[in-house]
Structure 1
Amino acid sequence: MSERRVRPRLRPSAEERADAGAAETARPGTIYPGDCVEVMRTWPDASFDACITDPPYNMSRRKGLKWAFSSHVTMDEQWDRFSNDDYFEFTRRWLLEVCRVVRANGNILVFGSFHNIYVIGFVLEHVLGRRVLQQITWFKPNAQPNITGRLPTESTEYIIWACNNTPEHAGKWTFDYARSKEIGGGKQLRNLWQIPCTPRSERRLGSHPSQKPVQLLERIVRLWTKPEDVILDCFLGTGTTAAAATQLGRRWVGIERDAGYIEIARKRLGAGA
Structure 2
Amino acid sequence: MKLNTVIKGDALKELKKLPNASVQAVIADPPYFNVLEDEAWDTQWKTPEAYLAWCKRWVAECLRVLKDDGLCFIFGQLGKREHTFIHLMSQLCLQHAYHDLIIWDRAVGYNERRDSFTPQYEMILVLRKGEKVKFNKKSVRIPYDAETISAYLRDTRYKNMEARKAHLEEGKFATNILRIPSLKGLNKEKCGHPSQKPLALISKLISCSTDAGDVVLDPFLGSGTTAVAAEKEGRPWIGIECDATYAKIARQRLKTSRITLS
Conserved in 2, the CA contact under 8 Å of 1:198 and 1:214? no
**Structure 2 regions of 5+ residues with no counterpart?**
145-167
Aligned to 1:208: 193
Aligned to 1:272: 257
Aligned to 1:258: 243
1:77 aligns with 2:39: yes
Aligned to 1:230: 215
- 1:102, 1:238 → 2: CA distance? 23
Aligned to 1:178: 138
- 2:84, 2:65 → 1: CA distance? 23
- 1:32, 1:123 → 2: CA distance? 29
SS in 2 for 1:271: helix
- 2:118, 2:37 → 1: CA distance? 15
Aligned to 1:110: 74
Question: How far is the alpha carbon of 1:123 from its aligned partner?
Answer: 3.4
Aligned to 2:7: 32
1:51 and 1:116, CA in 2 relative to 1: closer, same or farther beyond 3 A? farther
SS in 2 for 1:202: coil
- 1:29, 1:251 → 2: CA distance? 6
Aligned to 1:126: 94
Instruction: Figure out how many residues of one structure are paired with residues of the other and give that number.
Output: 225
**Structure 1 regions of 5+ residues with no counterpart?**
1-25, 61-73
Match of 1:55 among 30, 39, 44: 30
- 1:104, 1:58 → 2: CA distance? 30
- 2:104, 2:14 → 1: CA distance? 30
Q: Within 5 A, what are the aligned runs for 1:151-190?
A: 151-165=116-130, 170-171=131-132, 173-182=133-142, 186-190=171-175
Question: How far is the alpha carbon of 1:192 from its aligned partner?
Answer: 1.2
- Which has the higher mean CA deviation after the structures are superposed, 49-58 or 111-120? 111-120
- Which has the higher mean CA deviation after the structures are superposed, 111-120 or 43-52? 111-120
Conserved in 1, the CA contact under 8 Å of 2:48 and 2:84? no
SS in 2 for 1:201: coil
SS in 1 for 2:91: helix
- 1:232, 1:150 → 2: CA distance? 39
- 1:78, 1:32 → 2: CA distance? 21
Match of 2:115 among 150, 154, 163: 150
Question: How far is the alpha carbon of 1:182 from its aligned partner?
Answer: 4.6
1:247 aligns with 2:209: no
1:131-161 C-alpha deviation (Å, 9 max, x unpaired)? 2111111111223242x53332110001111
TM-score (norm 1): 0.77
Question: How far is the alpha carbon of 1:124 from its aligned partner?
Answer: 2.7
Question: How far is the alpha carbon of 1:101 from its aligned partner?
Answer: 1.1
1:99 aligns with 2:63: yes
SS in 2 for 1:243: helix
Aligned to 1:136: 102
Question: How far is the alpha carbon of 1:105 from its aligned partner?
Answer: 2.4
Aligned to 2:163: none
Question: How far is the alpha carbon of 1:237 from its aligned partner?
Answer: 0.4
1:47-70 C-alpha deviation (Å, 9 max, x unpaired)? 21111110111134xxxxxxxxxx
Aligned to 1:4: none
User: What CA RMSD, in Å, does the superposition of the two structures yield over aligned residues?
Assistant: 1.8
